[in-house]
Amino acid sequence: MNIASYIDHTVLKPTTTIANVEQLCAEAKEYGFAAVCVPPLFVKKAKELTAGSNVKVATVIGFPFGYSAIEAKVAEIVLAIIDGADELDMVINISAIKNNDWQFLASEINTVMPVIRSKGKVIKVIIESGILTDDEIITCCDIYGAAGVDFMKTSTGYAEKGATVAAVQLMRKHLASSIKIKASGGIKNYSFAAELVIAGADRLGCSSSVQIVKEAGE
């Protein structure tokens, strides 16, 4: 298993520096990671640092709680695309889930999708699976599957519970094969990373990426 090809090498801490981003991008090119995922402020810099490589640049939208206004998320997406982002990892409105306001969630994704599709970019919706019930995860699969998103993503890494094999398996069971899955949050070693891929994850969001690859002996 070429685990490096699954990894979005990530730094999203609020104290992120340019030096952190420079290191992240250098490692991504060295190890052949799928993408780097950086705060919006650093998208332009990451794009410069990964130029000429196959490494994609991802950033986060509505991060980490997801309850910013739809209009704010659209503005964030537009600015990220202008700065050169290839992939947008958007936190959905988790408060809406907990209030059973599925119409709001449908409206949110249906508002942002045309913006992303018109520019040929990739959308990953973060549902924060660790704080959802199985039924809520399944309903998310229905909504975002119907919307035709590129990926459903388990977690921000900021909730108490991150990615689990069970959540990935549940999502895989209830999504069309055309919808990919990104697992993130708490992936610290190769064995867990490999378990998630076997369970159905197509991407892994990791900050311990280099350690994971070294453990894999790749």
153 is catalytic: yes
Spell out the long-range contacts of 191-200 with Cβ–Cβ below 8 A and sequence spacing 24 or more: 191/215, 193/3, 193/6, 193/7, 194/1, 194/3, 195/165, 196/163, 196/165, 196/168, 197/1, 197/3, 197/6, 199/165, 199/168, 199/169, 199/172, 200/168, 200/169, 200/171, 200/172
The domain containing residue 83 runs over which residues?
Answer: 3-216
pLDDT at 112: 98
CA distance 92 to 65: 8
pLDDT string in tens for the chain (218-residue length): 899 999 999 999 999 999 999 999 999 999 999 999 999 999 999 999 999 999 999 999 999 999 999 999 999 999 999 999 999 999 999 999 999 999 999 999 999 999 999 999 999 999 999 999 999 999 999 999 999 999 999 999 999 999 999 999 999 999 999 999 999 999 999 999 999 999 999 999 999 999 999 999 85
What is the separation of C-alpha 181 from the centre of its chain, rounded to a whole number of angstroms? 9
Short-list 117, 133, 64, CA closest to 92:
64
Short-list 184, 174, 173, 175, CA closest to 207:
184
CA distance 156 to 197: 18
CA distance 140 to 160: 20
pLDDT at 1: 84
pTM: 0.97
CB neighbours of 212 closer than 8 A, spacing ≥ 6?
3, 7, 187, 188, 189, 190, 193, 206
Domain count, the chain: 1
H or E element, residue 204: strand 203-206
pLDDT at 217: 84
Domain containing 78 — which CATH number?
3.20.20.70
From 121, 124, 153, 180, the catalytic residue: 153
182 is catalytic: yes
Q: How many CB atoms lie within 10 A of CB 137?
A: 20
From 8, 86, 89, 150, the catalytic residue: 89
135 is catalytic: no
Q: How many CB atoms lie within 10 A of CB 19?
A: 8
pLDDT at 218: 59
Partner residues linked to 90 by β-bridges = 61, 125
From 56, 73, 124, 182, the catalytic residue: 182
